[in-house]
């Protein structure tokens, strides 16, 4: 299951048109700082930090850039912090917590939309999309 999530998460990040099939691995949108319940579970996820090093608008980049996010996973009164990252040596785009595996699918808004804010983005400006499934 973990390998299948990894393959699907990677293909989603590598392809601009390759959204994951929600029937296989459901997706969940997490607005920055807002607790969000994982459907069908008693798990709540909160996007707590975003490190956004995606390629800026109008710049030709050799790679897509790095997205590192931190999530608080609340389950049975306990909180576990996990990190998801698409291009990191110290973290991966999948992480398991509370009996589920969570995968990094995408981060919104685009760098173009963020540039239009005219200020440094805040956590509440972001929405993270993750997929999830039972951990092995």
CA-to-CA distance for 14 and 46, rounded, in angstroms? 25
Model pLDDT, residue 1 = 54
CA-to-CA distance for 50 and 41, rounded, in angstroms? 25
At residue 16, does pLDDT exceed 50? no
Picking from 39, 41, 36, 42, the residue whose alpha carbon sits closest to that of residue 71 is 36
3-state secondary structure of 113: helix
At residue 135, does pLDDT exceed 60? yes
pLDDT tens-digit series, residues 52-65: 999 888 888 888 88
Model pLDDT, residue 85 = 95
């Amino acid at each position: 299951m973990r390998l299948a999530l990894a393959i699907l998460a990677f293909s989603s990040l590598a392809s601009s048109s390759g959204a994951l099939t929600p029937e296989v691995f459901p997706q969940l949108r997490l607005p920055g700082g807002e607790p969000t319940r994982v459907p069908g579970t008693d798990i709540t996820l909160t996007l707590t930090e975003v490190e956004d090093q995606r390629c800026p608008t109008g710049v030709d980049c050799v790679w897509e850039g790095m997205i590192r996010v931190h999530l608080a996973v609340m389950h049975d009164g306990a909180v576990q912090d996990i990190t998801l990252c698409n291009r990191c040596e110290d973290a991966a785009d999948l992480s398991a917590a509370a009996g589920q595996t969570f995968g990094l699918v995408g981060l919104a808004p685009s760098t173009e939309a963020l540039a239009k804010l005219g200020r440094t983005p805040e956590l509440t400006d972001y929405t993270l999309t993750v997929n999830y499934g039972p951990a092995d």
